[in-house]
Structure 1
């Protein structure tokens, strides 16, 4: 007879808290009650693909958080985390026989939506599902901020840095598609451990500074030239290109915090980014971290709306106090009960929980029966 696998209450509480934080970071930034379609192409939102309604072989489609709950309850869904500039497809032409319950009137297609193999539950350059039942290697997946695909760390072609959750990544394919991004890498990209080691040994000098930045501020220039430069700021990208510093153009690139603010935003570069569909790189509020912070703020504002307190509004003062005292007593006793298991690292069994609530039930019956007088 094999022993039943057990975990301590501490493990359960820690895992539950971690999962709750991850879920709230993704979901709290999206509306769980109303279809996002009327908002148009939402800047960033939690999305799902329904394998029941749009399986592989059909047209790719994505649904918002609210529709995943209301219109696709019980369906086989792929969680896509978040996508930018997406409009909910639920119930449009791609869904034969299914009408959106939250917003039935929709265009046949959303022509500006971008789709990938993620919408059929496939990820990375290896195009495998996640979780992958055939993959025995424990490996985290990281999202590219450009194509928004999820890639295995071992398939990035580079060393994954520490504190990766604080850094944005652009995959090698997107870097090669937008070659000008490589110009920024030598100056802004997170260096690999190998490069850092060389610098510590003095094998590589400090990054060269563009000549325009080395010029002395004391050099007199014609006033007309100065005013023209003030009106038309120089292109930082061009200066970096002229500096000539390069890095090996292979593998994914990790970028440090606030790297977007260091990109050139001159008129020429804005046109370049727009033509490449990368204007969002100049928007620091586009980041997943900004979206998650927004979700956390929403959750904190909503914490004051306790369902219990809403129900209490319909009771008189005496009833409110009685229920509040009983509720707080039960919470305190449950906390004390569970704390004994947590402090000793013991496992809480279903019988333990059942026993606790049976004791609570007996206490209520004794209290409700009133005082007992013996003759």
Structure 2
């Protein structure tokens, strides 16, 4: 049986899609390369290759689409069953916060940012104020956006569940329409100056289309006969075409139509095109793995080493920029002065080591602890459910 096609399993369980770990590794590498290109100036001097590396920020959109698919699929898998909001929030907190706080603590110790900045980062509020950025931890903006998605998703799931009870296929249509509308709204405000203005293009409403395409794939699995679902399956089965469209969209995104490849301001139309292309890239990379059949693309992403990098990808995301900043601080080499290969030669192995330590020493223990807490609570609830009928019979 193919490992790339997702199905909903009985009793609320869902199948594991190993290739999604590989896609997570691809997204992490893209984010690392874009920061390396920026810090060394390679994005500006490296021609086409430099522009391709500089647009690696689309890896964040891929992360968002993966979150949208996996989390939404997990929450809707129980059908009409109750939503365990407490368990959901506790699992999300254990998954992201301990490793995030550990990395932030190291950044605070070595970079000594202002108290206000690191306090705002502690509570993932840095994107809602204009001047709280820590230069060696700038990539953390996307975690603030991710956490806002965690908070909003249960409300969306409950709203869609009410609609699903009356019209089982209507949530799919709503998610598809919301993807289009939010993409059109993503260019509502342009010209924001990084570090001066509030970066609303980092907020959930602007990044929503990438989350929504993941949710769209999850919804399509519930109503496979709907025209939208059959179209997604048809596209997903042609992995070559999906990758070709993703590649063309990515290449177009390196041109002036999406605005600067740096943190310089982009106008509203450029932000809209950037959002649309990022969403298209994320969808085309996700579709063959969730809606398609077995393919060489899926097989490549399930290679054990690629999957392992996907497993530790959160640590790669958290640690690469602090490591790069530390290298510049230690060597006293000016930023934007070249040195791409030396930076990667030293920075990548160090980042991989720290990411592995983060995964095995922080992320896994935190998730296991929460798992034990939730299993204990479930046993207590089951015991209470059994005791209530017994007490009623003896009254």
Task: Determine if the TM-score, normalized by the shorter chain, exceeds 0.5.
Answer: no
TM bucket, shorter chain: under 0.3
Normalised TM-score (structure 1): 0.27
Q: Which has the higher strand share?
A: 1
TM (norm. structure 2) is 0.26
- For CA contacts below 8 A with separation 6 or more, give which structure has more relative contact order: 2
Greater helix share, 1 or 2?
2
